[in-house]
């Protein structure tokens, strides 16, 4: 018989290691109380005179409910982090969009980015400009930049005008004053009298414009107000030279003098007549969107409905053609980049007459 301090005999004669019993009490997997199923008849004997070893902690089996709760907690943590990251990205995108002009045509809506969607959203921001001159009249277009009635147009549309009227997209006509002009950039600022609640256009960022971008032009060619055409950006940073002479503006709109087209120079050639002795050159956006006399001063929009340029010069073969079948736009038009307009606004508001 081995030392009783290390081993003892069970009721059935089986010798068990110290701390273990045939009934499970004192064992790592049992209880210190013998199970009833193995209870011997008669009085239960006194516990043996030995010190049972410590029972290790039991591992609890994680049931389905606990497992699901843990999974849900992890999913919630991941989901919360994803939502936070998305919100941060959205906030950053909104901030960037605000700097470049918030899109007018909201993403996700049916028809987003189509010409029809852009036209429906921004047409009220484009007006027809009629100027009375000393020897005739001039018709062009303009873009509403504030709801209070500030309107951007080309200088050559109102240059030398004795009076100016603006016709909005709903057919109403208002008198307007020329606040400031900048002939070097072919820009002018008008202020409408007696109008309120006009829909201002959203000015975009022309530095982000790319060749091939879809564009929409809106204006009043030949006095047909609210005319919509579309195309793409054909080229960027084109050197366009236009006249700064007041007398040249009389041909714009085709209602008095000349060919009815605003003369300009491009690529070493003159189009639509003589530009005169006083000219200015600027960097322009070239587009194949159909532009005709009367489009000058109107807006060139991107696919999100933001103004990226002010239409200023276009070549119409009809001015030199002998056949009416050759008349109209040939897809050679130019627009003043909107970033040029934005940097010039303060000067125009201050009453510049350059």
Name the residues annotated as catalytic: 156, 186, 296
If you search the block for the tokens 């008008």, which residue do you land on? 190
In 3-state terms, what secondary structure has residue 40? coil
In 3-state terms, what secondary structure has residue 224? coil
Closest CA to 219 of 111, 132, 119, 108: 119
Distance CA 193, CA 155 (A): 19
Distance CA 262, CA 251 (A): 7
CA-angle at 275, arms to 185 and 178, nearest 5° = 40
Residue 102 region, left (φ>0) first, then alpha (ψ -120 to 50), else beta?
Answer: beta
Helix (H), strand (E), coil (C) string for 152-173:
EECHHHHCCCCEEEEECCCCCE
Q: How many CB atoms lie within 10 A of CB 65?
A: 8
Q: What is the CA radius of gyration of the chain?
A: 42
Cβ atoms of residues 3 and 18 within 8 Å: no
Cβ atoms of residues 215 and 287 within 8 Å: yes
**Per-residue CA distances from 219 to 89, 91, 122, 132, 320 (Å):** 37, 35, 11, 19, 23
Distance CA 221, CA 64 (A): 74
Distance CA 39, CA 45 (A): 10
């Amino acid at each position: 018989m081995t030392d009783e301090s290390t081993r003892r005999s069970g009721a059935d004669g089986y010798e068990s290691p110290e701390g273990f019993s045939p009934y499970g009490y004192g064992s790592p997997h049992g209880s210190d109380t013998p199970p009833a199923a193995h209870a011997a008849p008669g009085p239960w004997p006194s516990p043996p005179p030995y010190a049972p070893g410590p029972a290790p902690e039991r591992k609890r089996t994680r049931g389905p409910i606990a497992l699901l709760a843990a999974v849900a907690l992890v999913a919630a943590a991941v989901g919360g982090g994803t939502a936070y990251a998305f919100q941060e990205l959205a906030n950053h995108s909104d901030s960037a969009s605000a700097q470049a002009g918030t899109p007018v045509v909201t993403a996700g809506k049916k028809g987003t980015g189509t010409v029809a969607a852009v036209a429906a959203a921004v047409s009220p921001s484009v007006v027809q400009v009629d100027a009375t001159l000393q020897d005739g009249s001039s018709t062009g277009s303009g873009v509403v930049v504030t709801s209070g009635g500030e309107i951007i147009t080309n200088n050559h549309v109102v240059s030398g005008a004795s009076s100016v009227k603006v016709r909005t997209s709903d057919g109403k006509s208002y008198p307007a004053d020329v606040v400031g002009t900048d002939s070097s950039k072919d820009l002018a600022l008008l202020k409408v009298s007696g109008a309120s609640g006009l829909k201002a256009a959203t000015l975009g960022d022309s530095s982000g414009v790319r060749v091939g971008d879809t564009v929409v032009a809106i204006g009043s060619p030949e006095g047909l107000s609210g005319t919509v055409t579309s195309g793409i950006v054909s080229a960027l940073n084109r050197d366009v030279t236009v006249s700064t002479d007041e007398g040249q503006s009389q041909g714009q709109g085709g209602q008095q003098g000349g060919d009815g087209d605003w003369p300009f120079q491009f690529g070493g050639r003159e189009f639509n007549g003589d530009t005169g002795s006083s000219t200015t050159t600027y960097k322009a956006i070239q587009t194949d969107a159909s532009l005709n006399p009367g489009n000058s001063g109107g807006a060139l929009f991107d696919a999100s409905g933001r103004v990226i340029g002010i239409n200023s010069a276009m070549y119409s073969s009809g001015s030199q053609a002998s056949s009416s079948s050759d008349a109209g736009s040939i897809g050679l038009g130019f627009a003043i980049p909107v970033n040029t307009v934005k940097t010039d606004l303060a000067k125009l508001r201050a009453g510049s007459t350059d």
